[in-house]
């Protein structure tokens, strides 16, 4: 069992999709499933969980139509690359991956956020078969049909489960509740890629959640570009689920999800007063006491330049109020250092705020220009060496906070959801840890557990980001 230390510098791309595609392909082979030559598709999903859900939708339809999804370039008749274009490193990763797919296979369809820059992609890779933007599911399928006609198959041979194809382990899944964003943060180009906020009908969301639970999912990770704005675009209209009226807003969604008996984890929440309404649900154990809120900075001047909501002092007051209501609440966030115009004084304000806020999980990015972002025009860019120096000081500060917070958990009992098991033991997560972006709990020697097991453990050791524990003796 390899100990993978949490890396706050990681890119947005998740490791899980590749592993799951490999496992699904191996299982299909064991089950004796056969597919026609000319119907095998390689699929690469880059970027964040929101992109991952788009990949799942495309793959579900492809499998429904009889296509096989394979895990090597050589086995594929065509490769689809679902790209990320959020930051420069993600753009480069996407372009490199497209190039690798072209070199190894030669027949490549590109989709996802970077797909809105068709000309730039074709300038670097003129031989791609087709390019589409994000959540262009029908366009991607039409392109596949053009280059790989639908297989002539018996639809009853390859039944797709009600919850569709998932690129996550069976015990957790991402639940996307909306698309797009109404904010115009100066460092971000997501609205130009994915458009303004469009909320999914709450009845549709809850039905998907129920199907996932019925399929054995133990944890739902609620995602969107702005979870706290859910329903704003439809004026929080009333919808129906199971014959009962339900209001389209975050609180009502959390209440209904909380009745399903699952771990429900909220991601991408903006620090609005409306968030206060879900904290009592956390205190009552209805949803996990976990909030993922991208604060981005604390200096009023920098926040204004970013066009970010919320004032740092008020946010601190709100965090204190949340902890008064729900002492167990875990807050994770991301920040940007080296934003244009950020002075040493601004950065010190951020460090002081971080010390006072005592956040549980924190990631940090050095600002980098993104083509089309308004922040590119802001005066006084920060030199790269100063960005790096501030990044290191920021992470050193947060590492101290994280170390102390985890040390306080030693000697306590916690619930753990098991993610992986091998010959050396098991790896799981507590309520404080989202998959791939937070810490882990290592259960050395516990080889009889299974992924998806929910157990109580005694926490025995900690480091900067992870815990070590043993299952509580049930005798």
Q: What is the average pLDDT value for the chain, to the nearest integer?
A: 86
| pLDDT score, position 418 | 95
Q: What is the mean pLDDT of residues 274-286?
A: 94
Q: How sure is the predictor about 163, in pLDDT bands with cuts at 50, 70 and 90?
A: low
142 contacts: CB under 8 Å, gap ≥ 6: none
Residue 17 has pLDDT above 80, yes or no: no
pLDDT digits (tens, 9 = 90+) for 203-250: 999 999 999 999 889 999 999 989 999 999 999 999 998 888 999 999
| pLDDT score, position 180 | 87
Cα-to-chain-centroid distance, residue 160: 24
Q: How sure is the predictor about 67, in pLDDT bands with cuts at 50, 70 and 90?
A: confident
CA atoms within 13 A on the CB side of 154: 4
CA atoms within 13 A on the CB side of 1: 21
Its pTM stands at 0.77
Strands 361-366 and 330-337, by their bridges, are parallel
| pLDDT score, position 455 | 94
- Judge contact between 368 and 337, C-beta under 8 A: no
The runs of H, that is alpha helices, within 238-366 are: 250-258, 279-283, 300-306, 312-325, 344-357
Strands 78-83 and 40-45, by their bridges, are parallel
| pLDDT score, position 40 | 87
Q: How sure is the predictor about 184, in pLDDT bands with cuts at 50, 70 and 90?
A: confident
Residue 411: how many other CB atoms lie within 10 Å: 9
- Judge contact between 179 and 119, C-beta under 8 A: no
Strands 178-179 and 238-241, by their bridges, are unpaired
| Range in 305-309, 405-409, 458-462 the model is least confident about | 305-309
Residue 20 has pLDDT above 90, yes or no: no
Kindly tell me the burial class for residue 377, based on how many C-beta atoms sit within 10 Å of its own C-beta (0-12, 13-18, 19 or more).
exposed
| pLDDT score, position 242 | 85
CA-closest candidate to residue 86, choices 373, 292, 290: 373
Kindly tell me the burial class for residue 188, based on how many C-beta atoms sit within 10 Å of its own C-beta (0-12, 13-18, 19 or more).
buried
- Judge contact between 215 and 161, C-beta under 8 A: yes
| pLDDT score, position 166 | 63
**CA-to-CA distance for 384 and 395, rounded, in angstroms?**
16
**Whole-number percent of the chain with pLDDT over 70:** 88
With b for 16 or more beta-carbon neighbours within 10 A and e for fewer, the 192-231 pattern comes to ebbbebebbbbbebbebbbebbeeebbbbbbbbbbbbbbb
pLDDT digits (tens, 9 = 90+) for 21-39: 556 556 555 655 544 445 8
């Amino acid at each position: 069992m390899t100990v993978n230390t949490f890396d706050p510098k990681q890119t947005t791309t998740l490791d899980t999709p590749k592993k799951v595609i490999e496992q699904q392909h191996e299982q299909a082979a064991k089950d004796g499933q056969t597919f026609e030559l000319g119907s095998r598709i390689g699929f690469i999903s880059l970027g964040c969980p929101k992109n991952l859900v788009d990949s799942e939708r495309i793959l579900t339809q492809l499998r429904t139509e009889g296509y096989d999804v394979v895990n090597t370039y050589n086995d594929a008749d065509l490769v689809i690359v679902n790209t990320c274009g959020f930051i420069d490193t993600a753009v480069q990763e996407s372009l490199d991956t497209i190039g690798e797919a072209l070199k190894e296979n030669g027949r490549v369809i590109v989709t996802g956020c970077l797909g809105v820059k068709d000309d730039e992609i074709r300038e670097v890779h003129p031989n791609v078969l087709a390019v589409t933007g994000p959540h262009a599911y029908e366009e991607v399928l039409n392109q596949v049909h053009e280059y790989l006609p639908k297989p002539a198959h018996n639809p009853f041979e390859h039944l797709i489960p009600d919850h569709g194809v998932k690129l996550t382990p069976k015990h957790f899944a991402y639940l996307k509740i909306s698309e797009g964003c109404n904010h115009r943060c100066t460092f971000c180009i997501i609205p130009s890629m994915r458009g303004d906020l469009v909320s999914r009908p709450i009845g549709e969301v809850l039905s998907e959640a129920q199907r996932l639970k019925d399929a054995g999912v133990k944890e739902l990770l609620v995602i969107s570009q702005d979870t706290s704005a859910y329903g704003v675009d439809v004026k929080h209209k009333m919808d129906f689920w199971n014959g009962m009226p339900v209001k389209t807003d975050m609180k009502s969604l959390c209440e209904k999800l909380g009745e399903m008996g699952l771990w429900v984890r909220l991601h991408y929440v903006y620090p609005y007063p409306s968030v206060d309404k879900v904290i009592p649900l956390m205190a009552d154990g209805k949803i996990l006491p976990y909030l993922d809120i991208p604060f981005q900075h604390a200096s009023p001047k920098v926040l204004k330049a970013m066009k970010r909501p919320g004032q740092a002092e008020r946010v601190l007051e709100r965090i204190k109020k949340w902890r008064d209501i729900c002492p167990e609440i875990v807050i994770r966030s991301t920040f940007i250092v080296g934003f244009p115009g950020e002075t040493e004084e601004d950065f010190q304000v951020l460090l002081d705020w971080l010390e006072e806020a005592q956040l549980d999980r924190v990631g940090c990015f050095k600002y980098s220009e993104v083509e089309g972002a308004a922040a590119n025009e802001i005066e006084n860019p920060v030199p790269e060496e100063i960005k790096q120096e501030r990044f290191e000081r920021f992470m050193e500060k947060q590492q101290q906070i994280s170390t102390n917070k985890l040390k306080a958990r030693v000697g306590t009992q916690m619930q753990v959801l098991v993610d992986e098991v091998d010959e050396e033991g098991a790896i799981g997560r507590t309520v404080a840890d989202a998959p791939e972006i937070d810490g882990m709990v290592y259960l050395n020697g516990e080889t009889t557990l299974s992924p998806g097991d929910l157990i109580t453990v005694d926490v025995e050791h900690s480091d900067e980001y992870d815990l070590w524990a043993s299952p509580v003796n049930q005798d």
